[in-house]
Structure 1
Amino acid sequence: MTDQRAVTVWRALRQRPLRFLVSAWPWRCWVYLASGALLGYVVLIALVLLVLGGMALSVVGVGLVVLTAAALYGIPVGALERRRLRLVEPVPLDRPHGALPAGGPLSWAAGRLRERATWRELGYTVLFGTVFAAAGFAVVLVLCLAALLMAVPVLAWALAPETVMIIPGEPIRGPLDALLGPALGLIAFALSAYAAGLLAGLQVRAAEFLLAPREDGSSARVIELTRSRARLAHAFEAERRRIERDLHDGAQQQLVALNMTLGMAEMELRERDSPAAELVTRARGEVRAALTQLRDLVRGIHPQVLTDHGLPDAVAEVALRNPIPVTVDIDLPRRPPEAVETVAYFTVTEALANAAKHSGATAITVAARHERGALRLLITDNGRGGAVPAAGTGLQGLGDRLAILGGRLVVSSPVGGPTQLRAEVPCSA
């Protein structure tokens, strides 16, 4: 169901009815209703012409196209109304239509005709061109009458008092007689303001019901599953960070201390020319190897450089360790959110590891930019190509991880190369 939040203009009208009259709300509502009255009649005339034209041209076979255009006519009207609604409702309405697969105009039209949102928008178009346009026109007439009552009597008394009579048969004889008109004008002004607020709020409600996306039972379940998956991913990431911290501060420090102790023991045994010195030397070498493996493991769980310095430095460090030369071109105006930065880092590391194992490439390029509210990654290698996400190369897992944050992964890898991985993660995730 649509969000049944309180309409902003109704809330302003209910909380401070007197202050509402001297605020900007009446003017915003009048502009909204006046423009709606004019636009509504234009929309209605265009819709009637489309329907009549489609019926008339049906005998020559073109009518179906025109009637299809009439059925889809509500889509641009709905888009315009969602933008115009910002005059009286600060919270924007989302677009109710889903994404369609790539195709021509016929496939687009067929996809849109199958959506319920298209028919709701058409219903709103009819309602907008008839009921709301007429009601808005009536409110504007009351406003014009209020302006006339407030201005005309005073002007008439000043210029030609014998030409205007507020009360039939009694001309205006002085300024006090002329005050009756402005008094009635103020009353009409207040009535017009309150009527404009009520009608604008009613139109907001209708737009929320017909032009906003709806969540049925299946959509709600999908949303809850997506949120649950995101919570599990965040919990998993927090556990990874805890393990990394424990290994870094616990086991790694103990191995460093053990290595120092063995070093002192080695020095003592060599001074005594003991044959056990060789065993201690070998033990120190094994400790150093274990320490190196542990550091690599900690870095793989969550590198400290990513936390301290951000994505560019973390990717640069990975590039230095990669067996294939990597060119890093990351230019971000600011650090993305932690979850986005983490998934971007592991996308790069997995892509570099796959390229080193399977591509046979001699050069790799990693580029990252922040565009239209999303972090976009482009990883390119000049290898043999032929990478398939479903082939178990880790690309499917990358796509799943990106999908948790609403991102996507596009792989282009023709046989013979080059291979391009395009990853996009919304920074709002």
Structure 2
Amino acid sequence: MDPRYPRDVWQALTRPRYLLSPWPWRAAAYLLTGAVLGAVLLVGLAAWVTVGGVLAIVLVGLPLLAATVLAGLPVAALERRRLGWIERKRAPGAHADPSKPGAHAAPSKPDAHARPLAPDAHARPLPPDPHARPFAPDRHLHPLAPDRHLRSPAPTPHIDPPAPGLRAWLSTRLREGATWREFGHALLTACLLWPAEALLLLVALVSPLAMIATPVLLATAGGGREVKVLKVWTVTGQPAAFAAAALGVLLLAAGAYALGLAAAARAALTRRLVAPPDGGTRARVAELTRSRARLVDAFEAERRRIERDLHDGAQQRLVALTMSLGLARLDAPPGGPLAEQLTRACEEAGAALAELRELIHGIHPQVLADYGLEAAVADAADRSPVPVDVGFVSPLPRLPQAVEAAAYFVVREALANVARHSGAGRARVEGEYGDGRLVLEVSDDGRGGADPGRGTGLTGLADRVSVLDGRLSVTSPTGGPTLLRVEIPCEPTPKDGPCVWSSPRTASSSATA
């Protein structure tokens, strides 16, 4: 950004050429449109509340009165656009100052190993183009040219609804703190700000201009004899008229600074209420959190679809193939080469079927979908080559599918690490649910010394848990024992409701955005 052109009114007020710049007129236009907006808003709100109060007798007006809360949304959107009148944004690196060193690209250093090109003896210079026009620099790229096309409205603090439809939109907006701040800003504009802006414009702009026009008014409306200035005092004669005009010039200069200060204060208040400094960041964080939750749900749904397709498709075909090979082996002469080939084919088909069942179980075990996390953990403990004790403080409720899947695979991977790396003789899995958190602990009596940097899968486990706003911690001193603890925030799923993950961080960000 060119330092010679102010970024906003605050910087413009500190410049010596403020009175000769467009900033005083921008400030006046900003305050004038704010006064008009406030007056129109006051009339509209009064009419809306009146109609709603009258129709409330037949219950039709109650929704109208409730919808008054949303009146701040369009007003705030307009205010965010009006902020661009007195605040200036510049794209990074735009309009470099050619008078400063480093504004242009520095010439590259010659390569010591490069050989100069030899001139071509047969080359002829190109004839000049008679229609070519000399290059004229674009005045819009001048360093002092205002970058009006680069001004943009302030970012919105609102987040996108989680689903399409009016109900989701209303639910999201009514839970947002930004909606209530914008409603308060609308009431403040309609009841207090616009009269103050109108009074300031009258005192700082209209009155000095009327004083400056005193000589003209005296010569025209006053007939050259006398004229009243601001309906306060009477001016007779041209010397007094020109004195009043000179005083008006001084008051106009002072009023220009007053208008700039008022516009800057008004813009700061507006930005604080309808476009807080971190509003865009908070909205983006909230939206990223929500999109991450949707991706987790979509990923788990895709895993279940793949598991279902393998279970209902490829597995059934392998079962049918195994049965056909078994029937063919019964019809083949015993002891012959055909019987031996069919026997080996049956064994290979059986092995492929067992591997496919294990693969299906690893993608998404059916016991997890049918009976929940507690039964799935018990099943994983039974499949572990190391003896595993399973204990839960109380029966676990059904949790969101993404949480159950992540917790199950964390336990399964942890038990696999115990069997491969720890040298433990026994392991234990404990868990409980309380205060909106699922807590699981996997411990073993092995040699310890688990290090995520050695590729034991701990980093992948931590990433999987962090997607759900959870936390994974490992305590593994050399010599053991090793304790892996997982905490995932979640809420129980209704028995007949969909298993959709919702983290408290998402809810809080939506409520406070």
Higher helix share: 1
What's the TM-score, normalizing by structure 1? 0.50
Structure scoring higher RCO (CA < 8 A, sep ≥ 6) equals 2
Greater Rg by CA: 2
What's the TM-score, normalizing by structure 2? 0.42
